[in-house]
Structure 1
Amino acid sequence: MAPEEKSHARKSSSVKHRGPVQLRRARKDEGTTTDERLLDERDPTDWVHTDPWRVLRIQSEFIEGFGTLAEVPRAVAVFGSARTPVDHPDYAAGRALGASLAKAGYAVITGGGPGAMEAANRGASESGGYSIGLGIELPFEEGLNEWVDLGINFRYFFARKTMFVKYSQAFICLPGGFGTLDELFEALTLVQTRKVTRFPIILFGQEYWSPLVDWIRGTLERSGKISQEDVDLLHVTDDIEEAVQIVVKAQQGVDEAVLMGTEDK
């Protein structure tokens, strides 16, 4: 065959495209398009329970959280028991705290559940503030409370915790159980190790929290497991205005540090 004929033969061979991939001549071809295989075929579903797929799901939670919360105003996370009754003094305190934070210009972020979380969301909402709830998938809770203006539900605790720390300027803990303690000690660890700075942690309720602080001071500090400076990271109070002022003063310190850094440049 003449060179011209060989060239013509190559050009006239059938060409198949699979996405950006080009297939020519005797290459194996499945005879279907990618869309057809995606939409027509039902494959085994075991893959949705594999770790690689979970990684994508985790990634999506971070993307959704960052995208939703990126433009919220300065906020304070308020934690507390989901089991606090509406007629309990802790509920009234949470409601008043949410209102006071809103009046000071802060959004209120809670776990979005009932009890003390609902109280803080309610106080913020009733005072015209921004009320945010970051819920978690649990077998015994029914979703976000009705006072949440902006809500996100998470599957994974660690993704949710990241949102609390990243988008809050302070933590205030009302009396609560394991969940509240979990958030409290995670925040303490992050501040102690300087993963976050100028981040006040406030325990609201002297009677409830003082025994814990006494144990921290009398056992952990006394045995050398932590330092005096670590204990001082905790602020215990029964006064709502004092709690809010601790937050405000800490934020003023951050603003001044940023301003000084800008001026130095």
Structure 2
Amino acid sequence: MSTRSDNDPQLAKDEHTSGPTTLRGELVPGSTTDQRLLDGRGRSDWVHTDPWRVMRIQAEFVEGFGTLSELGPAISVFGSARTPEGAPDYKLAQQVGQALVKAGFAVITGGGPGAMAGANQGAHEAEGVSVGLGIELPFEQGLNPWVNLGVNFRYFFARKTMFVKYAQGFIVLPGGFGTFDELFEALVLVQTHKVTSFPIVLLGTEYWQGLMDWLAGPVLARGMIKESDLKLVTLTDDVDEAVALMVAARSEHAAAPDPAARA
């Protein structure tokens, strides 16, 4: 079998380099990237391609990091968007928001209605920083009126990063699939030591006890988790206990060496 060298003129003719990408044969385009960029006659569907989405994803991270980098100590509070205003869980969320602000924390929620609005309202009324990280959904919700620092996201994974990166713990009120998603993602990050000194509190024993019984029962019995994993989450009805755990973790976090310095 014969091969052609890198200096073969035929090879050079059949090869096109576009940044880190090499195209050959029939894949060689008839114009350059600059030509297509500067030619206003082109189609606009390129803004929906995957490479362009990467830029939008990058922009979301940059915007989130830039907005929240000086937030200070904060706690993410999760709960159902379907919790009616004035319901017991809504009032519980308000108490959580107020107590966290009084303890020196900003309050981060998903920025939506229900329990999220309750926590933001409590934080706002306590004259604290009330953060809402919104998400674009088919059914538009928008940020609730109690948010005084809001960032909207297109992509769930960029938003989730902000929930964890800028919080020192999670307080989780009764909720559905979205709340479960955030809860278990946090548990995995703590279990795998991706985050440290990160308390997770479930508020509402009547609601969450069945989940804890399932984890401590068949999940543990079949070896899917270790017994020590059950200690990664605290179940309580006491807002003061939940906030005290966050305060203790803040002190532990402040005393711990900076992972970036170790790296």
CA positional deviation for 1:137: 0.3
Is residue 144 from structure 1 mapped to residue 143 from structure 2 by the alignment? yes
Rounded to whole Å, the distance in 1 between the matches of 2:178 and 2:36 is 45
Rounded to whole Å, the distance in 2 between the matches of 1:61 and 1:54 is 11
For residues 60-108 of structure 1, the C-alpha deviation after alignment (integer angstroms, 9 at most, x for no partner) is 0000000110011210000000000012100000001100000000000
Computing the radius of gyration from Cα coordinates, the structure with the larger value is 1
Rounded to whole Å, the distance in 1 between the matches of 2:67 and 2:197 is 24
Secondary structure at the residue paired with 1:232? helix
In structure 2, what is the equivalent of residue 81 of structure 1? 80
Rounded to whole Å, the distance in 2 between the matches of 1:186 and 1:36 is 44
% identity of equivalent residues? 63
In structure 2, what is the equivalent of residue 66 of structure 1? 65
Rounded to whole Å, the distance in 2 between the matches of 1:37 and 1:97 is 54
Structure 2: which amino acid aligns with 1:200? P
Secondary structure at the residue paired with 1:105? coil
Unaligned residue ranges in structure 1 (runs of 5+): 1-34
Rounded to whole Å, the distance in 1 between the matches of 2:145 and 2:204 is 25
Rounded to whole Å, the distance in 1 between the matches of 2:106 and 2:87 is 24
1:46-61 map, 5 Å: 46-61=45-60
In structure 2, what is the equivalent of residue 189 of structure 1? 188
1:218-237 map, 5 Å: 218-237=217-236
Rounded to whole Å, the distance in 2 between the matches of 1:149 and 1:257 is 31
Rounded to whole Å, the distance in 2 between the matches of 1:138 and 1:257 is 38
Secondary structure at the residue paired with 1:108? strand
Secondary structure at the residue paired with 1:84? coil
In structure 2, what is the equivalent of residue 129 of structure 1? 128
Is residue 100 from structure 1 mapped to residue 96 from structure 2 by the alignment? no
CA positional deviation for 1:39: 7.6
Asked whether the 8 Å contact 2:107–2:120 carries over to 1, the reply is: yes
In structure 2, what is the equivalent of residue 30 of structure 1? none
CA positional deviation for 1:40: 7.5
TM norm structure 2? 0.83
Query: Displaced runs of 4+ in structure 1, greater than 6 A?
Result: 35-40
Secondary structure at the residue paired with 1:215? helix
Structure 2: which amino acid aligns with 1:244? V
CA positional deviation for 1:142: 2.3
TM norm structure 1? 0.82
In structure 2, what is the equivalent of residue 158 of structure 1? 157
Secondary structure at the residue paired with 1:86? coil
Asked whether the 8 Å contact 2:36–2:42 carries over to 1, the reply is: no
Rounded to whole Å, the distance in 2 between the matches of 1:37 and 1:111 is 39
1:110-121 map, 5 Å: 110-121=109-120
In structure 1, what is the equivalent of residue 178 of structure 2? 179
1:180-219 map, 5 Å: 180-219=179-218
CA positional deviation for 1:50: 1.0
Unaligned residue ranges in structure 2 (runs of 5+): 1-33
Is residue 239 from structure 1 mapped to residue 238 from structure 2 by the alignment? yes
CA positional deviation for 1:49: 1.4
CA positional deviation for 1:254: 1.9
CA positional deviation for 1:245: 0.2
Rounded to whole Å, the distance in 1 between the matches of 2:193 and 2:224 is 17
Rounded to whole Å, the distance in 1 between the matches of 2:40 and 2:238 is 63
In structure 2, what is the equivalent of residue 27 of structure 1? none
Rounded to whole Å, the distance in 2 between the matches of 1:255 and 1:62 is 25
Q: How many residues align?
A: 227
Asked whether the 8 Å contact 1:113–1:141 carries over to 2, the reply is: no
Structure 2: which amino acid aligns with 1:248? V
